[in-house]
Structure 1
Amino acid sequence: MLFQTLSSGARDNIFMRAKGKTISLPEGNDERVIKAAEILKKELNIKTYLGNSQEAEKNKQKTLDIMQKIAEKKGKPLSDKILPLIGDTTFEGGAKLHLGEVDAVVSGCVNSTAHVIRAALSTVGLKPQTKIITSAFLLALPKPTPGGEGLVLFADCGVIPQPSSGELVDIAYLGQEAYAFWSGQTPHVSFLSFSTVGSAEHPDVEKVRNAFKIFTEKYPNIIADGEVQFDTACVPSVAQRKNPQGKAQGKTNVFIFPDLDAGNIGYKITQRIGGAEAWGPILLGAAKPFSDLSRGASAEDIAHVAALTLALS
């Protein structure tokens, strides 16, 4: 059964948002993908389009038309490096998504993350309010944080190695949006650092501090703190001492890491030592739900990512 470790409220919310929709799984010849499609049909009545090279070849012109349309929107000619991919199943899936024939695309148990992102950018483009594609993990904790949060989101954990202040703003916006869709709860965002509101000075601290400043100016109604250390973000008593004017007050559920080193290490520690159930990485930022998989993903992993990606539509 999908999402067994989730609270009933979050699980029901994801199921409600994903149920009965249609998804493209472009790597349709892989046994794991075929099994995932069966799971999705059985549990959520999700219709799956399993990609295959013969159909993708037949649909090349349709895929090319969509890719040219996206390129024109960007004001750039279609790259010669992209043209040979018009018969690729992941690009075909993106074209179907662009046309509304499916509600989401999930690929990557065979293809690389770079390939999946390239397909997303070439067929659906970016959300209008962001300039990046990023990624997040949704983690169900074995016991709640001291602030009482049992379901948390970590970002970015898989795409942008050294995000700028502006990119951290986009990562935070996309992360809190996804968290709200998945959990049905109000996001509480913290921009993480080794400093808490001026306790240290360093270019890395300044980057996070600037990101928080820009974020609060751009999205004043979203509950957010920064720059804060991890304990300030998730322990109310520490937050009260270190950041008494903060809004999250130790009840963070959306953790924004300063770089990919920290995010990737952080989620793996939480999963492997902390015992959390981790789902992802889910790509965020494409104009329509388009996500990646680990190449080591099991059928159950694929089904989980597919349901979460559909829940964003």
Structure 2
Amino acid sequence: MDFMTKMKNQAKADVRTIVLPEGEEERNLTAAAEITRDGIAHIVLLGNEAKVRAKASDLSLDLSGCRIIDPLTAENFEEYANEFYELRKKKGVTPEQAAEIMKDPMYYGTMMVKRNDADGMVSGAIHTTGDLLRPGLQIVKTAPGVSVVSSFFIMETNSAFGDNGTLLFADCAVNPMPDEDQLASIAISTADTARHLMGFDPKVAMLSFSTKGSAEHEVVTKVQNAVKKANEQRPDLIIDGELQADAALVAKVAAQKAPGSEVAGAANVLVFPDLQSGNIGYKLVQRFAGAEAIGPICQGFARPINDLSRGCSAEDIVNVVAVTAVQAQTR
């Protein structure tokens, strides 16, 4: 059974409510119809109901199982605006500004998650990552003990690497230049995700252009310090580095470059030193190796809020909703 089939089956076993704030967008409507038909999640679409239904009709989609909420006319709009004001008044937000902000479906959807009116949110087909992170950090905030929100991709490859060809890549979408403390937090979060969401025995490789001191540079030192801090904070996890990608993945190379490492040659979680390398890395594997890249999935929020690529397909949305529903189950 492939990973997404497993995720969808798990989502169906304990159906959760997921809000799609881009409810007037075609790919979201197509995905909503499929998700509802297949029983993967209960879907709430945000948008003007007349526009949503007209577009669904044009696309011959059955949205009878979906809820449609227009934030501008929602009966709990005032409650949401008041709660946002209470959360942000120390930052100078006025009641009038809070009401205006809550008209934005991204903020309204995030408040639904905050107030348990939805179990999770998925957005990004027409919004940027920043559009998702801002309300997430202002309203839902980070989980206890987590210092930074990050992201990961589930990479399903036709290879012997990772866990039967599946690996997690982090952080490929959120933090442009993490410092050593943030890098340590990303490694820990992704290891926990690998264990609880994926069912892996996580082996985390913190990547660099150096392996075990083969090169000297400040960016290598950053990774070395991050490895040390991650191990100090979570000695129960198997995290090692700094490792070059071949040393992390290929046993023969690992035996030469990092003998004795529990991770080298067996890594199933790859933590990149910065966003530039992470984003380039996952796209190269996706395009050259024909891997399926599922994500980006966010980690570190107190409740599940997930991003999409603006180039996503309707099927990508279905997949991320399924993962979000399972995150809600295991939160």
Partner residue, 1:109: 125
Instruction: Please give the secondary structure, in 2, of the residue aligned with 1:56.
Output: coil
Shift of 1:250: 1.2
In structure 1, the partner of 2:106 is: 90
Q: TM-score, normalised by structure 1?
A: 0.90
Give, in angstroms, the shift of residue 79 of structure 1.
4.2
2:276 alignment partner in structure 1: 261
Report if aligned partners of 1:181, 1:311 keep a CA contact under 8 Å in 2: no
Match of 2:34 in 1: 39
AA at the equivalent of 1:277: E
SS in 2 for 1:291: strand
1:183 matched to 2:198? The reply is yes
- SS of alignment partner, residue 247 of structure 2: helix
* Ranges in structure 2 where 5+ consecutive residues have no aligned partner: 49-68
Q: Structure 1 residue 284: deviation in Å?
A: 1.7
Indicate whether 1:15 and 2:30 are aligned. Answer: no
Residue of structure 1 equivalent to 2:77:
60
Corresponding residue number in structure 1 for 2:24: 29
Q: Which amino acid aligns with 1:106?
A: V
Q: Please tell me whether the aligned partners of residues 113 and 121 of structure 2 are also in contact (alpha carbons under 8 angstroms).
A: yes
Given the alignment, which residue of 290, 295, 317 partners 1:280? 295
Alpha-carbon separation, structure 2, partners of 1:70 and 1:234: 45
For 2:213, the equivalent position in structure 1 comes to 198
Q: Do the aligned residues in 2 keep the contact of 1:13 with 1:182 (CA within 8 Å)?
A: no
Change in CA separation of 1:176 and 1:288 when aligned onto 2, cut-off 3 Å: same
Say which is worse superposed, 297-306 or 201-210, in terms of deviation. Answer: 297-306
Judge conservation of contact 1:108–1:116 (CA < 8 Å) in 2.
yes
The answer as to whether partners of 2:154 and 2:169 remain within 8 angstroms in 1 is yes
Q: RMSD in angstroms over aligned alpha carbons?
A: 2.1
Post-superposition shift, 1:174?
1.9
- Number of aligned residue pairs: 303
Larger displacement relative to structure 2 (99-108 or 210-219): 99-108
The alpha carbon displacement at 1:14 in A equals 5.5
> Which amino acid is the alignment partner of residue 77 of structure 1?
K
2-structure distance, mates of 1:143, 1:288:
33
CA distance in 1 between partners of 2:281 and 2:93 (Å): 36
| Residue 121, structure 1, aligned to residue 137, structure 2 | yes
CA shift for structure 1 position 8: 4.0
- Structure 1: how far apart are the matches of 2:198 and 2:163? 14
Check conservation: 1:70, 1:124, Cα contact below 8 A.
no
- Following the alignment from structure 2 to structure 1, what is the Cα–Cα distance between the partners of residues 160 and 300? 28
2:151 to 135, 146, 170: 135
Percent pairwise identity: 36
Q: How far did 1:62 drift?
A: 2.4
Q: Deviations over 1:31-74 (max 9, x none)?
A: 211111122123344100111257212343222233244447xx
* 8 A Cα contact 1:24 1:49, kept in partner: yes
Structure of higher CA gyration radius = 2
Residue 215 of structure 2: SS of its match in structure 1?
coil
Distance 1:204 1:95 in 2: 39
Q: Which amino acid aligns with 1:85?
A: I
Give the 3 Å change call, closer, same or farther, for CA 46–85 of structure 1 in structure 2. same
Take 1:244 and 1:172, find their aligned partners in 2: how far apart are those partners?
22
Any gaps of 5 or more consecutive residues in structure 1? 1-6
Counterpart CA distance in 1 for 2:142 and 2:117 is 19
Kept after mapping to 2: 8 A contact 1:158/1:260: yes
Give the superposition deviation at 1:134: 1.5
| Closer/same/farther in 2, CA of residues 231 and 14 from structure 1, 3 Å limit | farther
